[in-house]
Structure 1
């Protein structure tokens, strides 16, 4: 058994984000506020308390920082969404509730990342942009598979449109963050998303 003080210090160290993670969080905040093109490496360094050149020990360039940020978002959503569906069992209604809760948590906690994605995805290199878009398409299809089971009368295109509409609703947090307490905003988005996701298909 270790000393209690040492154990506490180790726990704090384990919970503390790495310097790389600190850089990405600061960059996301600054990119959201000003746009990636208006932010320099020195700005990001100042936000985490290091000189600009020290950033290059972690990232080759600001563009590499942006690429990793957006790739991480896409990988995180795809992996998390698939895990939520698998953990929810065979009931598509429960799968949907789990997916919505997952997306709402992400959107409420990461409005800056949503802003950066929407505004700066086009700044990525063609290869990085293609990687992000492939991951995003796979994440959408996780939702489409669940929605298709809930709405057997809808074809894949209609379920895909429904999924994108849900993302637009839930990912509205850059415009609403801070206007309601986190719990209240999450509950509101969840209720609205569940209502939209389960609304009957319109008659032709």
Structure 2
């Protein structure tokens, strides 16, 4: 898989357009022709960049999982666990607010990703969860690990609902609200 961070600008543009279309119309409701049309290309011209629509979706979801994990690992490494948690929250909240289409596509379309890439996404996501669990265990060493892991998953549910709830508040106010709510949920 090509890393979108190092992919050609055209390839990254295709992935961004696909995220918007898949979020709005669904994976099955979007054709290669639709995707090409959104970019001013013919559908077949997309085959120079991807083997097909399935490859676009797979690369998109592998990439977002790897980006979340890599940045999560960097932020979780802070010496102060409270600062690490705030950094993780800020990162995930920013990602959710800035990428609602990717959050939506992941939520709805992961089952359409071929098994090898779907396994990779799930493996990377588990590693991301474990970064959060490790930080919380440093803050709450007496808390059972299963409870901490469940709290992290619940927190992700809250933060990843942003595409459905981020209406009426400006970005800064929504980010602050999410940070406050997520921190409270993690320490309930």
TM range (shorter): over 0.9
Q: How many residues are paired up?
A: 181
- Whether 1:148 aligns to 2:131 is no
| Structure number with bigger Rg | 1
Cα RMSD for the two superposed structures = 1.2
Q: Any idea what SS the aligned residue of 1:76 has?
A: helix
Q: Any idea what SS the aligned residue of 1:38 has?
A: coil
Task: In structure 2, list runs of 5 or more residues that go unmatched.
Answer: 1-7
Q: Which residue, 42, 48, 53 being the options, matches 2:39?
A: 48
Give the Cα–Cα distance (whole angstroms) in 2 for the partners of residues 50 and 178 of structure 1: 33
Instruction: Tell me if structure 1 keeps the 8 A contact 2:17–2:38.
Output: yes
Structure 1 residues 39-118: aligned runs within 5 Å? 39-86=30-77, 88=78, 90-118=79-107
Give the Cα–Cα distance (whole angstroms) in 2 for the partners of residues 46 and 136 of structure 1: 32
How many angstroms does 1:124 deviate by? 1.1
Give the Cα–Cα distance (whole angstroms) in 1 for the partners of residues 139 and 47 of structure 2: 49
* TM, length-normalised to structure 1: 0.86
Q: Which stretch of the first structure deviates more once superposed, 165-174 or 190-199?
A: 190-199
Divergent runs of 4+, >4 A: none
Task: In structure 1, list runs of 5 or more residues that go unmatched.
Answer: 1-16, 200-204
> What's the counterpart of residue 37 of structure 1?
28
Instruction: Tell me if structure 1 keeps the 8 A contact 2:103–2:163.
Output: yes
Instruction: Tell me if structure 2 keeps the 8 A contact 1:150–1:198.
Output: no
* TM, length-normalised to structure 2: 0.93
* Structure-2 change in CA distance of 1:172 and 1:158 (3 Å): same
> What's the counterpart of residue 8 of structure 1?
none
Q: Any idea what SS the aligned residue of 1:60 has?
A: coil
Instruction: Tell me if structure 2 keeps the 8 A contact 1:104–1:189.
Output: yes
Give the Cα–Cα distance (whole angstroms) in 2 for the partners of residues 178 and 19 of structure 1: 31
